[in-house]
Amino acid sequence: MWDLLVTLGTVSFIPGLMPTVLSRRTYIPRVTSAVSVFGLLVIIVGLIGSGLVLAPIVTGASAAVWAFIFLFRGTPPHHPPLTPGGE
C-alpha cells in the first residue's frame, strides 16, 4: 500500500515539469536542478532500503526529468539586444 501511495505522489510531480522540459525558452538555474537530482537520488536509496519497488522506479523517472532540465535548461536563453545599438 505504501509503495502505491508514494508512487502516485511522485507521479503527480511529473506533469508539472513537462512545460519546463518542452519549452526551449525555459531557464532553471543549474544549482536548483542539481539539488533536485541529488535529493531524489537520496530518496530513491531510502525507498529501496524500505523494500518498495514501484516508488523508486517512478522517482528515478522524476530524477531523469530533472537531469534533462539540468543538461538542457540550465543556461539562460539568448535574447536580442533591447536597443538597435546593442547597448
Across 55-69, average pLDDT: 96
Q: What digits encode the pLDDT tens for the residues 14-46?
A: 999 999 999 988 899 999 999 999 999 999 999
Report pLDDT for 24: 87
Band of pLDDT at residue 76, cut at 50, 70 and 90: confident
Q: Which residue has the higher pLDDT, 2 or 36?
A: 36
d(CA 7, CA 74): 27
- Count the residues in the chain: 87
Domain parsing of the chain, residue ranges: 30-75
C-alpha cell at 28: 532553471
